[in-house]
Amino acid sequence: MKVENIKQLLEDVKNNKIQIEEALSTLKELPYQDLGFAKVDHHRELRQGYPEVIYCEGKTVEHIVDIVGVMVDRGSNVLGTRATKEMYDAVKKKHPIAIYNELARTITLVQQEIKLQATHIAVITGGTSDIPVAEEAAITAEILGNKVERVYDVGVAGIHRLFSKLDIIREAQVVVAVAGMEGALGSVIGGLVDKPVIAVPTSVGYGANFGGLAALLSMLNSCASGTAVVNIDNGFGAGYMASMINKL
Amino acid sequence: MKVENIKQLLEDVKNNKIQIEEALSTLKELPYQDLGFAKVDHHRELRQGYPEVIYCEGKTVEHIVDIVGVMVDRGSNVLGTRATKEMYDAVKKKHPIAIYNELARTITLVQQEIKLQATHIAVITGGTSDIPVAEEAAITAEILGNKVERVYDVGVAGIHRLFSKLDIIREAQVVVAVAGMEGALGSVIGGLVDKPVIAVPTSVGYGANFGGLAALLSMLNSCASGTAVVNIDNGFGAGYMASMINKL
Amino acid sequence: MKVENIKQLLEDVKNNKIQIEEALSTLKELPYQDLGFAKVDHHRELRQGYPEVIYCEGKTVEHIVDIVGVMVDRGSNVLGTRATKEMYDAVKKKHPIAIYNELARTITLVQQEIKLQATHIAVITGGTSDIPVAEEAAITAEILGNKVERVYDVGVAGIHRLFSKLDIIREAQVVVAVAGMEGALGSVIGGLVDKPVIAVPTSVGYGANFGGLAALLSMLNSCASGTAVVNIDNGFGAGYMASMINKL
Amino acid sequence: MKVENIKQLLEDVKNNKIQIEEALSTLKELPYQDLGFAKVDHHRELRQGYPEVIYCEGKTVEHIVDIVGVMVDRGSNVLGTRATKEMYDAVKKKHPIAIYNELARTITLVQQEIKLQATHIAVITGGTSDIPVAEEAAITAEILGNKVERVYDVGVAGIHRLFSKLDIIREAQVVVAVAGMEGALGSVIGGLVDKPVIAVPTSVGYGANFGGLAALLSMLNSCASGTAVVNIDNGFGAGYMASMINKL
Amino acid sequence: MKVENIKQLLEDVKNNKIQIEEALSTLKELPYQDLGFAKVDHHRELRQGYPEVIYCEGKTVEHIVDIVGVMVDRGSNVLGTRATKEMYDAVKKKHPIAIYNELARTITLVQQEIKLQATHIAVITGGTSDIPVAEEAAITAEILGNKVERVYDVGVAGIHRLFSKLDIIREAQVVVAVAGMEGALGSVIGGLVDKPVIAVPTSVGYGANFGGLAALLSMLNSCASGTAVVNIDNGFGAGYMASMINKL
Amino acid sequence: MKVENIKQLLEDVKNNKIQIEEALSTLKELPYQDLGFAKVDHHRELRQGYPEVIYCEGKTVEHIVDIVGVMVDRGSNVLGTRATKEMYDAVKKKHPIAIYNELARTITLVQQEIKLQATHIAVITGGTSDIPVAEEAAITAEILGNKVERVYDVGVAGIHRLFSKLDIIREAQVVVAVAGMEGALGSVIGGLVDKPVIAVPTSVGYGANFGGLAALLSMLNSCASGTAVVNIDNGFGAGYMASMINKL
Amino acid sequence: MKVENIKQLLEDVKNNKIQIEEALSTLKELPYQDLGFAKVDHHRELRQGYPEVIYCEGKTVEHIVDIVGVMVDRGSNVLGTRATKEMYDAVKKKHPIAIYNELARTITLVQQEIKLQATHIAVITGGTSDIPVAEEAAITAEILGNKVERVYDVGVAGIHRLFSKLDIIREAQVVVAVAGMEGALGSVIGGLVDKPVIAVPTSVGYGANFGGLAALLSMLNSCASGTAVVNIDNGFGAGYMASMINKL
Amino acid sequence: MKVENIKQLLEDVKNNKIQIEEALSTLKELPYQDLGFAKVDHHRELRQGYPEVIYCEGKTVEHIVDIVGVMVDRGSNVLGTRATKEMYDAVKKKHPIAIYNELARTITLVQQEIKLQATHIAVITGGTSDIPVAEEAAITAEILGNKVERVYDVGVAGIHRLFSKLDIIREAQVVVAVAGMEGALGSVIGGLVDKPVIAVPTSVGYGANFGGLAALLSMLNSCASGTAVVNIDNGFGAGYMASMINKL
């Protein structure tokens, strides 16, 4: 509900077109759809520019199918993250155009053509094991209307691999740097490019990695400026943030 | 064993109705039932107003059946939490009126009619994945004699959903706020209502959530007053505490 | 600003008593006072039943004097927590009736007579070193209109001390249990009384106490029902919560 | 040293204008100035668009004076963060135009006029105790050529204060959200605005706040999209990142 | 190898009964048996009074069978802890007198009659879920020659259950207190008995229990004197320590 | 109050020597002295065999003087731990026979002759920096009536120093092993002696020692049997526990 | 690409043998092979003396087969760590000479004869459960051209086992000490030998071991000099580091 | 005491040159000097090649003077680390040739000429704030007979500074890499040089650095091979380890 609507409402009250009680009730009625177990936030598209994204983990298959149904009915494109194959199969039965990316564990369902931004986002990884998180970021950015340049396996243990790709990375408007282990990629990239870097720690590693904590702390303490961090393995969050920046 | 009983006992000693040794032994005999592996605390109902609740996790199926049996024999209503379907099946074989809630993982067995409190408790969640914990809280509160108003999926990422339900929440005597991720729901609710808020962090989330630690710390550090916190995923504890407050 | 005010506003719009733009502006104007560095929340008294409390730590002396001044002007009673002697001296110069409690580190300034609740709150501590936190809780509860019964130094290492005071504790409507070290007081009290217990872990202790973490975790994991926890050393939060419950 | 320079160098080698050994040596000579204890990175301005910033903590006063001197000689504007008054006094003796911000603990020295970006950055705080970190962010953004809108003390405990300022916040190109305690401000802002949010956890708080850890985890786990996080109390990093985004 | 043996050796050297090289070699030959993958410490019985105990977790079934074989050959009684049923079956095939305790996960094999100590050890638990750890402690103590009094499910949530058993507990020479959740049992017992208490935290619990950390910290910070702590779930360690004390 | 007293009481009730109300009141009156801020536990001597010990940290000087006074009046020997010089000076003014140990930070005041146990306790340290904690243990053990053999600076980095003292250590009835850094002393001692070992981690060390956490975890995970652990730097607890064992 | 190549390149530019653009491109072309998902670092052999090692965990079977293929084509010896049996089977199908070590979970494929270093490395473990990590270290060192002396199960709980093997250990040029539990082996070895010790904490243990954290902290805090630590369970890293030192 | 001495001893026993009791006593007498509070380990020079180093923190000034005196008497060179100016002044009074390095906080006292190793050690730092730790490493290495090449302030935020110094670094036999913040220097160096790297995390940084934990975890998780880690701020340990490797 936009500011103009409220203004109109007040004018309608003034002109006796609607009753005060009715106006009160309208002001209370907010633009989300209540499924009981979930309240699908249609207003979000107005408020934040993108429709709500379905975080599938911890939801039942039935819930996901219902939420997707509601969004499809409103004509939105749909992105489901952390989805299992089983969830996808149930969605696909009702919406055959749905697509599943096994690596990224995403369900995407595109009804409206996606207009692409002129500038692009670079998504880079330290190792090959970081690719699933990177793909989640890339697919998120793409469905939100961004071109994505993928540069994978360029970690600092063989830093010449990174340098050979610097041109591509530097041409991007925003960089998403995905790395596990010690997460040094974030700092090295941050020191080399003059664009905002979204660092994504991954839980790749073992021992004193503590499920991504090492990479997370490393990235938060980056000695390079121009870097901000999202949650461990949060490819979606990085892709979303990068898209927001790329579209400014 | 109530104070009057002890007084009577002393009078009986005085009047030579019972021997000293017998009195000593009675004073030692406390009102719990010893099953060897467990000591069922019947005294609890006198001391705390509610019968003992069975925390099923980590107990064998046989133990649970035995404990339920002892409580049924005394005519108590029974609540078992963290129960598996297998545990329920074994209980149901002996007590067909037992009911299982798969989401909340509770076994309930109602022999005595439950008298409902006039005021009610609101149980709200940030997301749909928090519902199992919320249901454990709600079912606990209900068997203890409280009306419960459920308000689910009203997290702060789409805060208008919460505002549209504020009336219902504000009418409650106590609020149970269940949230994972960053647990901000606790603070926001705490700042909006003038009733005690029991905040329940859940382990919903990933990465630097660390099994609910993020939400727990967030709720403990709430900048809003009038909030207290129970253990991660401890729906039972929140429902019990809320019931205690609602019944004052 | 209360619901009736909004209703009146809409009626005034309808009756052409005020212009739409003016109504819009009034709806935007919220009842707090903007000091630039701080926004004193006068609305809180309507919304939550108590005026805002000043958390003094990390604020400059000047800021505190200004905030107190604004609150005094509105006729509110004032409570400042975590206040240094220096802060108090500056406040006292302008408001001679202000009182400082050195142990609790509180500044109180009572302009309006405090009406006392009939029922009372028990504030108990495990040791003598926990008293400052307990006093913060007690003073908070008192200024909010509650009678407080103090029972100090009754920790579980000499559990007979606790038992001898059980009657006093059990007569309370709510119990605030303050303990450091291993925080076992929370569980023991929780198992003995049938009233809600607000457990306050303190940072009293050393070594693997880790600044109150041991007591905090202990209280969160209490095997006794009917207990909820506030932040480490958060006497204010416990007193506030207890008051809220006591006044239901 | 820019790409064109290297190309020229190769051409000079080809045309025998310079000897191979000399070219080798030039390629080795990189554009930083070696003070022995420090290597001032003049190249950074070319590489990243801004001159190096001096992180003063842990450096001796002499070192800081020397580094400032080198930067002043090159005509750069200077920003020193985490500076003590003593450091500033030593700098001021040599460079009287240097300015110290006691709250933010910054030394700034402006030799070149700063061209301001058309769009602006909003820097908001949850409480008044978060202001020092916010000021570090604001001053950093300003010396880098951004207009900054400060909105302080609008934390979620009195959420109407935040709502009354939403217009100002929503007009910004980027939002820096600074909060301690439970850090819920990040999520609430993230859910309300459609611009990138840089969340800065502060160490404001006590008890289970653990020096900012609670706010940090809270912000990393934000249920709202479009948020990324910098290190605890890292106002500089947030201001820098926000500037980078605002200038795209 | 005992001191007398060394003395004899030196005398033999003096008396030319053995050659220096031979003496050197004997001094090098230490009383353990080298299986390649393991070095079974037969000397331990001399040095510490008990034969080595086999910690089965992480060892292959073959290794365990081999180690048991070597110990059986020497006529020792055998205790294997953390043993799976599969390990036991393999051992039993060769040594039919071996016994498995499914709850405690121990393999015991008694070849030499166990002489019982006159005094006994009390092993008590807070809940029924702590029984497996308690049984490991009890079985360990028993094979080492101690009488054990088991007192289970007497946690502090219903403290009268504990008081009714105090006599039995106080008669013991040493008390092993096993508890999960908040581990308050350790402190309460420590404050009530005048015998050494070995506290065993268990991983029983959930949420902020963090795999037994809450109980561990609680027990380490016990406000009661006369308590020492072993590792989480380390029933064996507690039983062994208690035995050592009981046999002094 | 001993069992005989209760029996007598019941007999007095029977024989009409005392009234029921009086008997009830006596049963409530427990043997501690209430100073308001503290409840001195005189009963402890009966219950646990030793008088209460004063943990001075966090108490005011006045409180300590009062508590000492009460204990002196009853004729007890007094032990105060974690005492500052200032506390001691105040105590000494009233009780000139009080003695202060600057290293151990203990106040001792011996009124009754201490009868010494025949067997002794060995207190050993890894380094010289662990001596203050060791002295707290030794002094505690001594005032409780034990002979103590001190063996300092025999850490595992130069393990031959330890071996040369093994005889002395092995003659003890109980061993207190005090060590910081990596705390390996606990395991090495545990593997070499056949007596119970009380391991005391100290906060001596730096970096990843984390205030004694490294030594604590190391000692809890000791691969040697017959070891139990007390809190970091808790010399008192170790001395008390060792005394309890030595006196069995 | 070695320094001489670059010099030659510049000379070729000078002599017009190659064009500037071509030289630029050559300088950009770095010696790794791009498989899209991975960039195999052939340059590493020149830069670091050993070919790249494949860390198999988290990679798909197909990726591993492809990477092995590329390395085999270049004639390198291949080492894959953390490999499953399934991965090995797929590799073996194409390269029958590949060998799998089930304990160490390594795939090795030797095409070029390995020249052995004269001096050797000792790999020792505290217990038998540490052997898998030790084997990973040993196999790594062997394929890199080192002789390895294995000394297993010589932990400090029975320190005489260690002493009996000291000669073998002291003859080594470098020692790899692998231990879980409390990791005291690192300190004891460090204090006994005059060669560099690489300490490897393992996740062997339970309870407060926290997945190897106890051993890790213990080893980092070693009171013995001449010790450095690698990540928990990182046998490969230790073997590699030891090889590097042994080959100096 | 060397092996030959023991052999001689046995021969002397055989030849009746010494009595058995005397031999026994000699075997017990180990080559350290017992100062009561400390046992100076003279044997260490034989066992490990270097004399003992005095870790001054936590020792009294008197103790340090005494230990230095004992070492000077034996003609050793002396190194004291973590020494305060006050400690140094006391030492200097007795031994005027003692030298203090204020940055590194070391006392050095050279009596015997130091023979320098041909190869050298490179000590590099990420920032200028890491220099004190680096100096402790360098001075340690120098007194142990190594040439040291210092390369300071070459952190990865301006990676060209590091590249310009690569030649110097690569010529070293061992590299000590000292860095705080995110500690990425360790990985980058490890990927660029073919020599063993000793990584030293420092406590330089703030916020989520947690006293060096971020750098420590980062270095332990390094994706580059050939790196091992010492404790946070442990310059001495790194210098010692590097010396040991350099002297092989």
pLDDT in tens, H173-209: 999 999 999 899 988 998 888 899 999 999 988 888 8
pLDDT in tens, chain G (248 residues): 334 555 676 677 777 787 766 665 555 434 566 666 666 665 555 455 566 789 898 888 998 999 999 888 878 889 999 999 999 999 999 999 999 999 999 999 998 888 898 999 999 999 888 999 999 999 999 999 999 999 999 888 778 788 888 888 989 999 999 999 988 898 899 888 889 999 999 998 888 888 899 999 999 998 788 899 999 999 999 999 999 999 98
pLDDT of residue C21: 66
Nearest by Cα to E205 from B231, G32, G112, D237: B231
User: Is residue C2 situated within a structural domain?
Assistant: no
Closest-CA distance of chain C to residue B204, Å: 18
Q: What is the dihedral of CA C167, C169, C171, C174, to 10 degrees?
A: -160
**Three-point CA angle F134, F137, F143, nearest 5°:** 135
Q: Which domain holds residue C61?
A: 31-109
Q: Are residues E181 and E207 in the same domain?
A: yes
CB contact under 8 A, D44 and H207: no
Chains that touch F (3 or more CB pairs under 8 A): B, C, E, G, H
Please report, for chain B, how many H helices and E strands are present, in that order.
11, 11
Pick D158's closest partner by Cβ from B156, B191, B205: B191
CB contact under 8 A, D206 and C234: yes
pLDDT of residue E26: 53
The domain boundary, picked from H109, H144, H174, lies at: H109
State which residue of chain B sits closest to A232, comparing Cα positions: B207
- C-alpha dihedral sign at D160, D163, D164, D168: positive
Round to whole Å and give the CA distance between B185 and D221.
Answer: 13
Q: Are residues D151 and D195 in the same domain?
A: yes
User: Is residue C77 situated within a structural domain?
Assistant: yes
B31 Cβ under 8 Å from any chain C Cβ: no
Pick E161's closest partner by Cβ from B30, B55, B232: B30
D15 Cβ under 8 Å from any chain G Cβ: no
CATH of the domain at H165: 3.40.50.1970
CB contact under 8 A, D157 and B187: yes
Nearest by Cα to C131 from H202, G172, F59, B230: F59
CB contact under 8 A, C16 and A14: yes
Pick B241's closest partner by Cβ from C48, C49, C227: C227
pLDDT of residue E28: 43
Is the Cβ–Cβ distance between G103 and G128 less than 8 Å?
A: no
Q: Are residues E83 and E186 in the same domain?
A: no
Is the Cβ–Cβ distance between C191 and C181 less than 8 Å?
A: no
pLDDT of residue G241: 96
Partners of H163 on chain A (C-beta within 8 Å) are none
Is the Cβ–Cβ distance between G78 and G90 less than 8 Å?
A: no
Round to whole Å and give the CA distance between D24 and E158.
Answer: 82
Q: Are residues F60 and F172 in the same domain?
A: no
What does the pLDDT look like over H217-238, one tens digit per residue?
A: 999 998 788 899 999 999 999 9
Q: Are residues D127 and D242 in the same domain?
A: yes
Q: Are residues D230 and D154 in the same domain?
A: yes
DSSP letter (8 states) at residue C226 = S
AA identity, residue H65: V
- Long-range contacts (CB closer than 8 Å, 24 or more residues apart) made by A42-46: A42/A74, A43/A1, A43/B158, A43/B160, A44/B158, A45/A76, A46/A1, A46/A2
CB contact under 8 A, E161 and B58: no
E23 Cβ under 8 Å from any chain G Cβ: no
Pick C157's closest partner by Cβ from E181, E205, E224: E224
Nearest by Cα to G104 from G214, G205, G238, G227: G238
Nearest by Cα to C54 from C239, C177, C248, C236: C236
State which residue of chain B sits closest to E156, comparing Cα positions: B41
pLDDT of residue F89: 97
- For the cut 70, the answer to whether the pLDDT of residue H3 exceeds it is no
User: Is residue D69 situated within a structural domain?
Assistant: yes
E47 Cβ under 8 Å from any chain F Cβ: yes
G45 Cβ under 8 Å from any chain A Cβ: no
118-177 in chain D: CB under 8 A from chain C: 127-129, 131, 152-154, 157-158, 160-161, 163-164
State which residue of chain G sits closest to E216, comparing Cα positions: G208
pLDDT of residue A10: 65
3-state helix, strand, coil in chain D (%, to 5): 45, 15, 40
Can you give the C-alpha Rg of chain E in angstroms?
A: 21
What does the pLDDT look like over H135-179, one tens digit per residue?
A: 999 999 999 999 999 999 998 877 878 888 888 899 999 999 999
Q: Are residues H225 and H134 in the same domain?
A: yes
User: Is residue A196 situated within a structural domain?
Assistant: yes
Interval E212-217 mean pLDDT? 93
User: Is residue A12 situated within a structural domain?
Assistant: no
pLDDT of residue D11: 76
Pick G217's closest partner by Cβ from F155, F187, F213: F213
Considering chain B, what is the average pLDDT of its residues?
Answer: 86
DSSP letter (8 states) at residue B128 = G
Confidence class of residue H43 from pLDDT cuts 50, 70 and 90?
low
Mutation target for B interface from A45, A231, A234, A240: give the one with most B CBs within 10 A. Answer: A231
Confidence class of residue A5 from pLDDT cuts 50, 70 and 90?
low
Region of E183 on the Ramachandran plot (φ > 0 left; ψ -120 to 50 alpha; else beta): left
CB contact under 8 A, B157 and D182: no
A23 Cβ under 8 Å from any chain C Cβ: yes
Pick F233's closest partner by Cβ from C161, C164, C206: C206
Q: Do chains H and B touch by CB distance (3+ pairs < 8 Å)?
A: no
Closest-CA distance of chain B to residue C39, Å: 15
Can you give the C-alpha Rg of chain H in angstroms?
A: 21
Alpha carbon distances (Å) from F166 to F189, G21, H21: 9, 77, 18
Provide the CA C112 distance to its chain's centre, in angstroms: 18
User: Is residue H11 situated within a structural domain?
Assistant: no
The domain boundary, picked from F58, F87, F109, lies at: F109
Pairing of strands D106-109, D78-81: antiparallel
Considering chain E, what is the average pLDDT of its residues?
Answer: 85
User: Is residue G46 situated within a structural domain?
Assistant: yes
Q: Do chains G and A touch by CB distance (3+ pairs < 8 Å)?
A: yes
Partners of C153 on chain F (C-beta within 8 Å) are 37-39
- Decide if the complex's ipTM is over 0.85: no
- What tokens were used for H128? 């200028």
To 10 degrees, what angle do helices B3-14 and B20-28 make?
A: 170
- How many CB atoms are closer than 10 A to CB F117? 16
Partners of C187 on chain B (C-beta within 8 Å) are none
In chain B, how many domains are there? 2
Q: Are residues E104 and E125 in the same domain?
A: no
Is the Cβ–Cβ distance between A113 and A143 less than 8 Å?
A: no
**Three-point CA angle F129, F131, F132, nearest 5°:** 100
Confidence class of residue B121 from pLDDT cuts 50, 70 and 90?
very high
Q: Are residues D99 and D128 in the same domain?
A: no
Give phi and psi for E121, each to the nearest 5.
-110, 135
B240 Cβ under 8 Å from any chain C Cβ: yes
* Sheet order of strands, F54-55 included: F54-55, F78-81, F106-109, F99-101
- Go through chain G and tell me how many residues it has: 248
- How many CB atoms are closer than 10 A to CB F155? 29
pLDDT of residue F30: 39
Round to whole Å and give the CA distance between H54 and H40.
Answer: 10
pLDDT of residue C162: 87
Is the Cβ–Cβ distance between B173 and B246 less than 8 Å?
A: yes
Q: Are residues D132 and D80 in the same domain?
A: no
DSSP letter (8 states) at residue H224 = S
pLDDT of residue F6: 54
Give phi and psi for G231, each to the nearest 5.
-65, 160
Nearest by Cα to B129 from A38, E32, G94, H174: A38
- What tokens were used for G212? 């190897």
What does the pLDDT look like over A185-221, one tens digit per residue?
A: 988 998 888 899 999 999 988 888 888 999 999 999 9
- For the cut 60, the answer to whether the pLDDT of residue H210 exceeds it is yes
User: Is residue F24 situated within a structural domain?
Assistant: no
DSSP letter (8 states) at residue E99 = E
Q: Are residues C203 and C173 in the same domain?
A: yes
State which residue of chain B sits closest to A47, comparing Cα positions: B158
Give phi and psi for F193, each to the nearest 5.
-115, 160
AA identity, residue D26: T
Region of G2 on the Ramachandran plot (φ > 0 left; ψ -120 to 50 alpha; else beta): beta
DSSP letter (8 states) at residue A20 = H
Partners of H244 on chain G (C-beta within 8 Å) are 194-196, 226
CB contact under 8 A, H194 and G244: yes
Q: Are residues C143 and C242 in the same domain?
A: yes
| Residue that the structure tokens 């293929």 belong to | G69
Closest-CA distance of chain B to residue D108, Å: 34
In sequence order, what DSSP letters do the residues of chain F get, joined into one string? --HHHHHHHHHHHHTTSS-HHHHHHHHH--S-EE-SS-EE-THHHHHHSS---EE-TTS-HHHHHHHHHHHHHTT--EEEES--HHHHHHHHHH-TT-EEETTTTEEEE--SPPPPPSSEEEEEESSGGGHHHHHHHHHHHHHTT-EEEEE-S--GGGHHHHHTTHHHHHHSSEEEEEE-TT-HHHHHHHHH-SS-EEEEE-----GGGGGGHHHHHHHHT-SSSSEEE--TT-HHHHHHHHHHHHT-
Consecutive H or E run containing C188: helix C184-192
The domain boundary, picked from H109, H140, H164, lies at: H109
Partners of A187 on chain H (C-beta within 8 Å) are 156-157, 181-182, 184
Partners of D121 in the β-ladder: D148, D174
pLDDT in tens, chain F (248 residues): 334 555 676 677 777 787 766 665 554 433 456 666 666 665 555 555 566 789 898 888 998 999 999 888 878 889 999 999 999 999 999 999 999 999 999 999 998 888 898 999 999 999 888 999 999 999 999 999 999 999 999 888 778 788 888 888 999 999 999 999 888 898 899 888 889 999 999 998 888 888 899 999 999 998 788 899 999 999 999 999 999 999 98
